[in-house]
Chains A and B, each alone.
Chain A
Amino acid sequence: MAELGPVLEVLLGGLMSGVLYALVALGFVLIFKASGVFNFAQGAMVLFAALSLVRLSEWLPFPLAFLLTIVIMIAVAWAVERLVLRPLVGQHGLILFMATIGVTFFLDGFGQTIWGSNVYQLDLGIPASPWFLLENVFPGGILVSPIDVFAAAIAGSLVLALSIFFHSTKIGRALRAVADDHQAAQSVGIPLNQIWLIVWSTAGIVALVAGMAWGSKLGVQFSLSLVALKALPVLILGGLTSIPGAIVGGLVVGAGEKLAELYIGPLIGGGIEYWFAYVLALAVLLVRPQGLFGEKIIERV
């Protein structure tokens, strides 16, 4: 049995990386909630946003580069709405999903063409050396990465802001309406295209935040696009339509895979971390197909 200190450290580390998964999952949830589209391009958007930020900040002050990147992500949202979603309105969900795969390849390629395909360092000015907490409780203290703490704080405020946005503004109400029924939403005066633009822009900004967190950890490079794959089990766990679900799902996956590695890993030779999340997701699918927090599909027959 491991000492409590190291276990806590592993748990904390897991929760922190869970927050990073949640950040990516959040982008999926936003778009799925409002347009019923499973946006495969969310990972590519993370990469594109991070690349834009890191390259722009080479010749612009950081705050300016940040704002300009937000503008770029809104432009991406606009282009996707105009060129992909609008012509495909009313099509089956699977067709829209395929279209987002197309967007993924385009964004991956286009991003690296204009911004370059090297590994770029993203320095957010956060100290890289770890902090040691509770040194007087546990021998050696608990090691925490400042970047993770920063990411967790940002993610937390982002989720809070989005929850307020969805629940107490008229745009939030409009978003939920559009998610439920396109025709009815239009008939009460909600402009569909504007709503999609808002949602994709928001998802773009969430992608930027996720890109900053992941990029400062791993460096900004192509593999950022693949963090989307890590978000899939989070989505299944939390439910595709729930913002709190994305967060809780992220935390469960993050903590779960680290603890599994610690406790079950040694029994079967390790390496659990890489597939534990998917097995967990599969188990949840069998019991609760709508996810832990997803809306139960209500249908009268």
Chain B
Amino acid sequence: MTKLEAKNIVKYFNHGSHKLKALGGIDLKVEAGDFVCLVGPSGCGKSTFLRIIAGLEKPDEGEILFDGRPVTETGPERIMVFQEGALFPWLKVQDNVEFGLKMAGIPKEERAKISNRYLDMMQLTKFADSYTYQLSTGMKQRVAIARALVMDPDVLLMDEPFAALDAQTRDLLLVEMQLIWEKTKKTILFVTHNVAEATVLGTKVAVFSNRPSIIKKEVENNSPRPRVTEDESLLKLQQDILAELRPEVKKSKA
């Protein structure tokens, strides 16, 4: 079943006085339960594409279909995890995680029950009463993921959530992310510039070209899980993707 469909998404950036064509007609079909990783040279608009799916930006042309219906605004069935987490510093961890539930008017005891489950899943229980500045970057991203999962969205949109993490923390979260995906059966779109990360996580890797970007290639990835970055079965795939990506990165630097 097709969960999400992007049809010819075009987006211009304002670049001083002139307009820059960032997305040059993106077509993508995402089946329910897919874990799609989007890789591409920096500045190619992959994050913008994710924001358009989230309904936080509007495309200049084309449309996003969610369960066959066009997306017109942002909504809790498509939840975004931001690169820096975007956690609210005035709220404790638990209140951050419960934020969306509170907005939905769910009563306090109910909220606590739901949030406790996800705090436990993300191993955050003992940090429930901490403020976000007291957490490491890795912990903050766990909170951000818990906050997204609590909404029980159909689609999870993750914008380079592990970019700022150290290697060990990232490896740990890569394993956990696979477990979460298997356990929750969420459809996930995951933007990253790290090819190894993409091959570890994705059931499919979509390679963006340089601006104006299109999806240059989609690679299926059925290697057994749990995967780690160094898996030999992934090496060939990583090399294929890098071969596609390298000329695009060169063009973007030119």
Pair from one complex: no
